[in-house]
Amino acid sequence: MNTRKLGVLVAATILTLPWLGGWLTGSAHGLTAGPTVAVAGIGILGASFLLTWGAETAEKDVPRAFAIAVLAVLAVAPEYAVDALYAWQAGVQAGTPAGAEAGNLAVANMTGANRILIGIGWAGIALFTVYRAGANSDPAVKSNSGFLKNAVSLDRDISLEVAFLLAATLWAFLVPLGAGIDIFDMAFLVGLYVLYIGVVLRGEPEEDVEHVGVPAMLGRIPNPFRALTVIALFLFSGLIIFTAVEPFAHSLELLGEDIGVPSFFMIQWIAPLASESPELIVVVVLVRKARSTAGFNALISSKLNQWTLLIGTLVIVHSIALGEYGALAFDAKQAAEIWITAAQSLFAIALILNFEIDVREAILLLVLFISQVLLEFLALREIIHLPITEIQLLHLFTATYVALALGLFATRSDELVRLVRDTRQILRSAVHGDTAEHPFSDD
């Protein structure tokens, strides 16, 4: 057994122990907001690593249908825990100011997680991949002539994911036009994901997944001990996340009040960092091993999971807590947050429409994300005074993203046509069960 990988596994487990000890002894309940955020947040971070490694290791033993459908849900479980918490509270406290605020916080956390995944994840990993190419040759990095034109090439096998992500993004623009996240949003977004899973299972050839790091080490454990190890990782990480998520989220709200930052800002930008960090770190590891294509594929698949399952199932949690069907309502501020999130997603899809992203495009994606968050934070702290309201600022960035996206779609219309054609061919091959018709079957 690799000592270094074992050390990483032990380190992630150690991250969870302060919270576990405090929860078991009851001492965690006596902590103030700051220490609770630190201890619970670090515990969730460690548990997210364990959950991710357990899910990847399980792919060696479970049926492929289960691996794709169920393990994809596990990948967003830490992030979903926070969202589900507020969707549940919105149902339990429906009709009260606290219930309305909880609904807004559920939307804030969802939009923040999605924008972090693209603004930091896609952009940051693309820049890191090109940077690493100078020290470790990566076949996915293209050296183009021109200033900051080196690019990361993406795998055209993810055409299906890009096309479905585009469909989910276009639908997201419609969500704020209703009374909230409702049954129609659930039907379309969850249905879209179910269709995606069905196409993947029927339309693509079976592939062996080569793991790296801790999952590779755990994968060499013989059964039944490997299966027991995976189950233990699931149960332990689930316990940590389940017990830590509520005090972590509520303490973030209190901490925001203490430092003069609205709770929605803390839930939108700080809470997702604990759950998104493990995935980003795993992708960084893949890039360091010159497997940037696999890393980017993982990020795009994760975005599709979040943009469909994470949004679509919130109304289910809310309705269960409510005791009857009810849309998850939100205010005008969160409507603007959904629009800017959809607009950023549209722009990001336009950037990778040619299945590569160069340094200039990644920098633009990162700068737009950072500048919006920074301007909003500085305005909230009254460090600067903007001539427009927060909602108008969001609308301004939304318009910028959409204008840039439409410009790219216009100049890359041939690529858009090819994406539609390839997706249609993938769907046709899935329906007829003929993998030979798959557009990339010979790649």
* Confidence band, pLDDT 50/70/90 cuts, at residue 207: low
Q: Evaluate if residue 371 carries a pLDDT over 90.
A: yes
**In terms of residue numbers, what domain contains 391?**
3-437
The answer to whether residues 423 and 159 touch, using CB atoms and an 8 Å cutoff, is: yes
Which of 78-92, 273-287, 413-427 is least confident? 273-287
Residue range 122-149: mean pLDDT, rounded: 75
Alpha carbons 22 and 26: distance in angstroms, whole number: 6
* Confidence band, pLDDT 50/70/90 cuts, at residue 132: confident
Q: Evaluate if residue 208 carries a pLDDT over 70.
A: no
Q: Evaluate if residue 188 carries a pLDDT over 90.
A: yes
What's this model's pTM, rounded to 2 decimal places?
0.86
Q: What is the pLDDT of residue 380?
A: 84
Please say whether the dihedral angle defined by the alpha carbons of residues 102, 29, 75 and 262, taken in this order, is positive or negative.
Answer: positive
Q: What is the pLDDT of residue 133?
A: 59
How does DSSP classify residue 328? B
Q: The domain spanning residue 386 has which CATH number?
A: 1.20.1420.30
Q: What is the pLDDT of residue 77?
A: 74
Residue range 76-91: mean pLDDT, rounded: 85
In Å, how far are 359, 376, 394 from 382, measured between CA atoms? 34, 10, 17
Q: Evaluate if residue 288 carries a pLDDT over 70.
A: no
Q: Evaluate if residue 217 carries a pLDDT over 90.
A: no
Could you give the number of structural domains in the chain? 1
Residue range 91-108: mean pLDDT, rounded: 92
442 inside domain = no
* Confidence band, pLDDT 50/70/90 cuts, at residue 137: low
Select the more confidently predicted residue: 443 or 196.
Answer: 196
218 inside domain = yes
Q: Evaluate if residue 136 carries a pLDDT over 60.
A: no
Q: Evaluate if residue 224 carries a pLDDT over 90.
A: no
Select the more confidently predicted residue: 289 or 18.
Answer: 18
Q: What is the pLDDT of residue 74?
A: 67
107 inside domain = yes
How does DSSP classify residue 310? I
Q: Considering the chain, what percentage of its residues have pLDDT values greater than 90?
A: 40
Which of 14-18, 35-39, 132-136 is least confident? 132-136
Q: Evaluate if residue 334 carries a pLDDT over 80.
A: yes
7 inside domain = yes
Select the more confidently predicted residue: 208 or 335.
Answer: 335
Q: What is the pLDDT of residues 267-276, one digit of tens each?
A: 888 888 776 7
443 inside domain = no
Residue range 37-58: mean pLDDT, rounded: 85
* 200-239 core/surface letters (b: 16 or more CB in 10 A; e: else): bebbbeeeeeeebbbbebbbebeeeebbebbeebbebbbe
130 inside domain = yes
Residue range 373-382: mean pLDDT, rounded: 89
Select the more confidently predicted residue: 297 or 50.
Answer: 50
The answer to whether residues 344 and 370 touch, using CB atoms and an 8 Å cutoff, is: no
416 inside domain = yes
Residue range 239-268: mean pLDDT, rounded: 86
Which of 282-291, 298-307, 319-328, 346-355 is least confident? 282-291
121 inside domain = yes
Q: Which residues contact 393 (CB under 8 A, 6 or more apart)?
A: 372, 375, 376, 379, 386
Q: Evaluate if residue 129 carries a pLDDT over 80.
A: yes
* Confidence band, pLDDT 50/70/90 cuts, at residue 79: confident
Q: What is the mean pLDDT of the chain?
A: 85
Q: Give the HSE-up count for residue 83: Cα atoms under 13 Å, Cβ half-sphere.
A: 29
Residue range 258-270: mean pLDDT, rounded: 85
* Confidence band, pLDDT 50/70/90 cuts, at residue 389: very high
Q: What is the pLDDT of residue 35?
A: 92
Residue range 373-400: mean pLDDT, rounded: 92
Select the more confidently predicted residue: 207 or 96.
Answer: 96
Q: Select the highest-mean-pLDDT range: 58-72, 136-150, 278-292.
A: 136-150
Q: What is the pLDDT of residue 185?
A: 94
